[in-house]
Structure 1
Amino acid sequence: MSVQSFNEAVIEEFRANAGKVGGPFEGAGLVLLTTTGARSGQEHTVPLGFVREPDGEQLLVVASAAGADRHPAWFHNLLAHPLVRVETGTEEYGAVAMPAAGARRAELFAHVVRQEPGYGEYQQRTEREIPVVVLQRTHETASGEDGVAGKLLEVHGWLRAQLGHVRREARDHVAAGGGGPAPLGLQLRQHCLAFCQSLEFHHTSEDAGLFPYLASQHPHLAAFFERLAREHRVVSGLQEEIVQLLDQVGEGEGAGAGIVERLEVMSRELEGHLDREEEQLLPVLRALGAP
């Protein structure tokens, strides 16, 4: 049986039995991790063992590849697309995949080996430093409202919260001296990519689906939708500049300062855009009712 066929059988059994599987995984902690292909852009799901952080709050997965000399494909995927989906058998949620670095990685790997000694044996087989990935759960922002209007408010609330989080990390990165400690630079990169990619998906979905539908039902709002589309393009340009600067994080103060400056500009543009969108569209969306 190929690795892919084996994984597919485990995934099917996992989902059919609320996360419980037999065979080599019987009795072990197991999650399904869905990543987005670094090159293909397609979703890929793999079953992985996990260990909880020492405080028990977040889940840790280890890119051991059974001690092979190359990182597994899912690890390369989450570096390109940090926003992942986690299934535990009892719940499913989004998370930002955060590879640990430096002393933090050493601390977490030692914790993992105490819980599951096999990972220590895998590390002995390879000169590659086996990554430990923290799955930082992204909490939904409740809108207190049902229907399409409530969904829009939830997405906007999530985007506002994530942007605030990224701005704080960028300022901390610069305050630490530009390069900063390795974990801080990596956190900034992963969180910033996750935010930018989520924002891009949201705006693309609006431009391709929601806005054309609403424009067909409310022709008097055509000029307003054209304005929103122009604002999407402005924000998209800022996102591209930020993503380019992310490749330079850790190389000096300039990249971090540039990201802070671009994030501040994006924040002003995006907050104004979201406010205008809510002011004009929420009455229309409330009339639609259920999504």
Structure 2
Amino acid sequence: MPMSFNQSVIDEFRANGGRVGGPFAGGDLLLLTTTGARSGRPHTVPLGYVRAEGLLLVVASAGGAPDHPQWYRNLLTHPVVRVELGAGSFDAIAVPAEGDRRKRLFEEAVRQAPGYGEYQAASDRELPVVALEQPEPPEDSPREVRSLADKLLEAHTWLRAQLRHVREEARTHIPGRPAGLGLQLRQHCLAFCEGLTHHHTGEDSAIFPALARSHPELAGPMARLGAQHLVIGRIRDELVALLAGFERADPDRLRAELDRLSAELEAHLDDEEAELLPALAGIPFPPART
């Protein structure tokens, strides 16, 4: 679809709580925002969707074009996406289905929207079926965030829960081919790595400098914590490089890398909480408006 047409649909969708007219009138439509694989910039597209087996699904049909759409290539690099559905929105992890599961879900998509079958017949590529998974909040998350200490604990709880999840997936993963990782495991690992990067970037650029100004006695501990970020970042980068070639990646090596990352990260989070929570407890969150 031409960009100008896409933008008009996006504007109408947002102005009318998810309702649009024209060729999409009465259809099931959402807005998907991905991060550019090369540019790193957000890109939003309107897409039809179906629901099956409790999943929210989009099909990378591109009208039966010979190549995958750009939004699909983006989410293979950056699995965390933004979904606008009706008047609401949420972050999701985009996970392409594989094998028999993909076949089953595509058949259901065609049953609900026969046009997908026509697009598949017109293309030599297998049209990807992508589940937009909304992660459940960890059960042990702080019930109410009132201070920056609560916010830090909320972020740490999410990181611990997601790391446990991907390690469990890696332990129980049975490759569907002689070697390599599944797309589901790959996407969840990459999503965790993105979340970890975002958290540490925010600390290095905002939280640590602010604390250094208000609590100079924490300069030594924060220098140590910053050095730990570098160690964890190197392990994360090695993990991302391994996932880039997931078709050939060794699952045993992935498990070893996840175990190494887990050991470093758990020790770091414990250290950070011991050093920073007392100072952060006195800082309201969200910040008071001035």
Question: Scaled by the length of structure 1, what TM-score is found?
Answer: 0.92
Shift of 1:177: 6.0
Number of the residue aligned with 1:137: 134
* Distance (whole Å) between structure 2 residues aligned to residue 32 and residue 75 of structure 1: 14
* 1:118-137 superposed matches below 5 A: 118-137=115-134
Number of the residue aligned with 1:12: 11
Deviations 1:97-128 (A, max 9, x none): 01111111111110000000011111111111
Residues 178 and 250 in structure 1, CA contact (< 8 A), matched pair in contact too: no
* Structure 2 residue matching 1:195: 3-state secondary structure: helix
* Structure 2 residue matching 1:98: 3-state secondary structure: strand
Task: State the Cα RMSD in Å.
Answer: 1.8
Deviations 1:156-198 (A, max 9, x none): 111111101110111122xx3695798x611111111111111
Deviations 1:62-108 (A, max 9, x none): 11101111111000000000111111123211111011111111111
Residues 140 and 154 in structure 1, CA contact (< 8 A), matched pair in contact too: no
Shift of 1:14: 1.1
Number of the residue aligned with 2:170: 170
Number of the residue aligned with 2:273: 278
Say if 1:181 and 1:244 are closer, same or farther in 2 by CA, change over 3 A: closer
2:256 to 227, 252, 261: 261
Number of the residue aligned with 1:152: 152
* Distance (whole Å) between structure 2 residues aligned to residue 98 and residue 181 of structure 1: 20
Residues 178 and 257 in structure 1, CA contact (< 8 A), matched pair in contact too: no
- Asked if residue 97 in structure 1 is aligned to residue 115 in structure 2, the reply is no
Say if 1:177 and 1:190 are closer, same or farther in 2 by CA, change over 3 A: closer
* Distance (whole Å) between structure 2 residues aligned to residue 13 and residue 26 of structure 1: 11
Q: Give the letter for the 1:17 counterpart.
A: N
* Distance (whole Å) between structure 1 residues aligned to residue 112 and residue 176 of structure 2: 36
Gaps of 5+ in 1: none
Q: Give the letter for the 2:273 counterpart.
A: E
Gaps of 5+ in 2: none
* Distance (whole Å) between structure 2 residues aligned to residue 262 and residue 198 of structure 1: 17
Q: For structure 1, which segment, 223-232 or 131-140, has the greater mean C-alpha deviation from structure 2 after superposition?
A: 131-140
Residues 83 and 194 in structure 1, CA contact (< 8 A), matched pair in contact too: yes
More helix as a share of residues? 1
* Structure 2 residue matching 1:260: 3-state secondary structure: helix
Number of the residue aligned with 1:86: 83
* Distance (whole Å) between structure 2 residues aligned to residue 126 and residue 248 of structure 1: 26
Say if 1:193 and 1:180 are closer, same or farther in 2 by CA, change over 3 A: farther
Kindly tell me the number of residue pairs found equivalent between the two proteins: 283
Deviations 1:203-236 (A, max 9, x none): 0111011110111111000011101111101111
Residues 50 and 56 in structure 2, CA contact (< 8 A), matched pair in contact too: yes
- Structure 1 stretches of at least 4 aligned residues deviating more than 4 Å after TM superposition: 177-182
Q: Give the letter for the 1:80 counterpart.
A: T
* Distance (whole Å) between structure 2 residues aligned to residue 29 and residue 155 of structure 1: 33
* 1:237-252 superposed matches below 5 A: 237-251=234-248
* Distance (whole Å) between structure 2 residues aligned to residue 215 and residue 107 of structure 1: 55
What percentage of aligned pairs have identical amino acids?
54
